[in-house]
Chain A
Amino acid sequence: MDHSIKLSHTSALILQTISHGYSYGFDIMDVTGLPSGTVYPALRRLERGRLIQSTWENAALAQERPPRKHYRVTRAGNQALLSAVKRYPLLERLRPEAKPKGR
């Protein structure tokens, strides 16, 4: 994916949220306040653009619940995010707190 890709503000916000460790769909909704009808299609688009990559959680780690799908930002995604932050300076202010490890 070309790193000069232009992301929408919403996509950039979601990408930034994932880069801060909020890797599950519902967690991204909680942090950004965006509805599921916005977050999930954006995740699909980002994944198709290879800016994020999804993997299934290890079943052994998921106790008493089905394994969840989590997303992580790829190298191309990081580059796209850097360009997006330059493009949307306010995105820096909206930066969510990094997710505490182990949550």
Chain B
Amino acid sequence: MTGRFDTLEQCRMILRVASWIVPRWTRAEWLREWEAELVSACQVSSQSHGNRLRRRCYGAFIDAAWYRCNREDLRHTSQRWSQTPAFLLLALVTALLMFALASGELLRMRSILLRPPYPDPQRITTVSRTGVISSSEWVIPYSWVKVWRKHEGSQVSVAAYSWKPLASLISVDGHRVRAASVKVEGSLFRVFGLNPILGRIDQPGEVSGLANCLVLSYESWRRDFSSDPGILQKKATIDGQEARIIGVLPERFWFPSNEVAVWRLADESSFSGENVGVIARLGPRVSERWAELLLQRDVENSVGESPWDAALQVWPVQDRIRQPLIFYALALCVALLLMIPVICSGRLNLRPQSAEIARICRWWSFFGTKSFLLLSILLAVVIELTPEPYVFPAGKTTFVVESASLWAFSIGCVFLLWWSLADQQSRCRVCLRKLALPARIGRSGCLFLGWFGVELACPEGHGLLHITETDVCWLDPAQWTPLDESWESLFSERSEMEAFK
């Protein structure tokens, strides 16, 4: 008798522990059913069945867990959760984070927004021709660079580079690496005011002896050459030509884009006859306008170019890199302006049900946060995936005409803002959940006898939204009908389940 009593108590204890898993709304009934079976089993079975009973009671844990994670409930819960505003915001934040991770923590975006990694960024400028139609004409004939170098003084110092990066194959001691390279003059790093962390790049009077020398980016040195400090003494080839590595630049330096891992130093002869990009360092107290006049005057006097052909633009690199952001902001403003009439017309009926300030703030802050996240994702995608180099090879006008990324951003802005508005329209005016249970109202082709539209209901039973499908101007806009307590019973079962879970 004592043994049986012990078994009963042990089993009761197991059941009580298992009952904690069961949702509160059904816990008492669940425990009652199991205890009744247990007592009944104890009355008819002998002491030898103690283990069997205990095993059965352990199975109660699986039964209890069923209430928490059965397929139907999980599907129902996930379906309901996906209708909440928190779900959408979380999904957008996750998408942004995933994209940030996939793109190397928004490398390009950081390069554009953060301070450039060289001293006096406001004094480092690009020099390009103005009054050109296409981006291929912005570049400068190398003969002009030679003229400027001849007259180089304390006011402006220049360096040329071939702006288009090439995909090169670099081989060091049999170790092959594919990397983007760009041809530059040895004086480029002096113009930037950079000192390498390894080796030496440019000493005055040594420029001509630097042909076929390679300079590595810090990231490439670490990633591709395992931070080998002895790399400077090793033999290398680049695209089949012998070369030697003479330096490693400081961390985070990039030019003209982040993809470039190797700078191939070239002498004057390898640039002759080419059109090149030009970087200039302005001396103290030399304005951009003054530098333009100086350089223009040199070209007119020495080469004999007409003032029209020699028209130049000196533009700080930092501003040039960030210049697309101004156009993106303008594109966003245009998209917002396009949306204002849609919002103000009231056709979408974008008003929360309650006139309480807190409710109105919640309604519009959700719209604002959602739109902000959508536009942030768009901006990140456009900047990170843009095929153009950062130092865009064109003037302001040509950027607007030729930049695919700007057009993509503009169209994307309009599309995403429209989607955000449409999403807001199809949300409950009280709880912001996505409206569900669409029902078609009226018959098509019977516009004069009845409305042809769709009615959506709030899953919590707060109201109904009627949207006319045929967009005819004399029909009323979307209508929100609040539901009173008399409708509660229709939605109560779901709400109750949800509340208890």
Chain B's closest residue to A34 (CB) is B59
Cross-chain contact B61 with A37 (CB below 8 angstroms): yes
A69 within 8 A of B: yes
Chain B, interface size: which category? 20 to 34
Q: Among B33, B36, B58, B59, which residue has its beta carbon within 8 angstroms of that of A65?
A: B36
List the B side residues contacting A35 at CB < 8 Å: 55-56, 59
Instruction: Check: B169 CB closer than 8 A to any chain A CB.
Output: no
Specify which chain B residues have a CB less than 8 angstroms from the CB of A37 in the assembled complex: 58-59, 61-63
Distance of A38 Cα from B59 Cα, bound (Å): 8
Contact A25 B37 (CB under 8 A): yes
Contacting pair A69 B63 (CB below 8 A): no
Neighbouring B residues of A38 by C-beta, 8 Å:
59, 62
Within the complex, what minimum Cβ distance (angstroms) separates A8 from chain B? 13
A26 close to B59 (CB less than 8 A): no
By a CB distance below 8 angstroms, the chain A residues around B40 are 24, 26, 65, 68
Known: A35-B55, A66-B39. A40 touches B72 (CB 8 A): no
Digit string of B40-75 for contact with A (CB within 8 Å is 1, else 0)? 110100000000000111111111001100101000
Contact call B66/A68, Cβ cutoff below 8 A: no
Q: What's the minimum C-beta distance from B319 to chain A, rounded to whole angstroms? A: 66
The residue from A29, A41, A68 contacting B33, defined by CB atoms under 8 A apart: A68
Q: State the Cβ distance, A30 to closest chain B Cβ, in Å.
A: 9
| B-contact bits for A20-62, CB 8 A (1 contact / 0 none) | 0000111001000001111111001100100000000000001
Check: B396 CB closer than 8 A to any chain A CB: no
Contacts of B460 in A (CB 8 A): none
> CA A64 – CA B57 in complex, angstroms?
21
- Checking B37, B59, B62 against A68 with a beta-carbon cut-off of 8 angstroms, the contacting residue is B37
In the bound complex, CA of A60 to CA of B449 (Å): 63
Complexed CA–CA distance, A93 and B41 (Å): 28
Q: Are B37 and A41 in contact (CB under 8 A)?
A: no
Q: How many angstroms from the CA of A25 to the CA of B70 in the assembled complex?
A: 19
Residue of B nearest to A69 (CB): B33
Interface residue? B137 (CB, 8 A): no
Q: What distance in Å separates the Cβ of B214 from its nearest Cβ neighbour in chain A? A: 68
Q: Are B43 and A41 in contact, with the CB atoms below 8 A? A: no
| Interchain CB contact (< 8 A) of B39 among A40, A44, A48, A65 | A65
Write the nearest CB–CB distance from B248 to chain A, whole angstroms: 64
The docked-state distance in angstroms from the alpha carbon of A73 to that of B32 is 22
Determine whether the beta carbon of B63 is less than 8 Å from that of A40.
yes
B219 sits at the interface (CB 8 A): no
The answer on a CB contact under 8 Å between A40 and B60 is yes
CA separation between A70 and B3, bound complex, in Å? 28
CB distance from B36 to the nearest CB of A (A): 4
Q: Does B35 reach chain A (CB closer than 8 Å)?
A: yes
B31 to A: closest C-beta gap in Å = 11
Which residues from A are CB-within-8-Å of B56?
26, 29, 35-36
Min distance, Cβ A67 to any Cβ of chain B, angstroms: 6
Q: Tell me, rounded to whole Å, the shortest Cβ–Cβ distance linking A64 to chain B.
A: 8
User: Could you say which residues of chain A place their CB within 8 Å of the CB of B36?
Assistant: 62, 65-69
Look across to chain A and name the residue whose beta carbon is closest to the beta carbon of B33. A69
**Please, how many angstroms separate the alpha-carbon atoms of A49 and B21 in the complex?**
22
Residues of A within 8 A of B59 (CB): 35-40
B32 touches A40 (CB 8 A): no
Question: Which 7 pairs across A and B sit closest by C-beta, in order of nearness?
Answer: A36-B59, A37-B62, A37-B59, A40-B63, A41-B66, A66-B36, A68-B36
Other CB < 8 Å A-B pairs besides A37-B58, A41-B66, A69-B33, 6 of them? A36-B55, A36-B59, A36-B60, A38-B59, A41-B70, A66-B35
Residues of A within 8 A of B (CB): 24-26, 29, 35-41, 44-45, 48, 62, 64-69
11 interchain pairs, CB-CB under 8 A? A24-B40, A26-B40, A36-B56, A36-B58, A36-B63, A37-B61, A41-B63, A44-B63, A44-B67, A45-B70, A69-B33
